[in-house]
Amino acid sequence: MAVPPHDLSDRAAAGREIYARNFGVSPAEVERLMTQHAGPVFTQEAYEAAGGPGWQSPALTDRDRSIAVIAVLVAQNVTGQRLSTYLSLARRNGLDLEGLTALMVLLGSYVGQPYASLGMEAVQRSAGAEQ
């Protein structure tokens, strides 16, 4: 069972808001989805982490965070729905197809063409889905 919203620490509540915003759903829906997929303990820890300085610090913009998360996902060969979620978030944060393409080209030099090319395929798919 998920931790009821009123039982969340302030940090976890802030983290749940970040996840809800990133996924484009309500806090209640993100709670349901994350608990369904990862269980309540992992979900609680994810909220605590997202409520901390990585997602809350004014030293990074949401655009910066999008680039960082996409780079890490591509470097780990994560190209499914998780990458698609963050590609959509990146677009909402001001990264267009040209910017995402440049990012994949750059990543190709650092993580290798196989992973970056799969990332680029995800960029292309997500661009077609948003048209």
What tens digit of pLDDT does each residue of 49-83 get?
999 999 999 999 999 999 999 999 999 999 988 99
- Tokens 């809800």 found at: 20
In the structure encoding, which two tokens stand for residue 105, read together? Answer: 């080209």
Residue 47 has pLDDT above 60, yes or no: yes
Cα separation of 87 and 71, whole Å? Answer: 11
CA 72 to chain centre: 10
Average pLDDT value for residue range 102-125? 96
On the question of pLDDT at 131 being above 80, the answer is no
pLDDT at position 107 is 97
Contact (CB, 8 A) for 86 and 122: no
Per-residue pLDDT, 7: 73
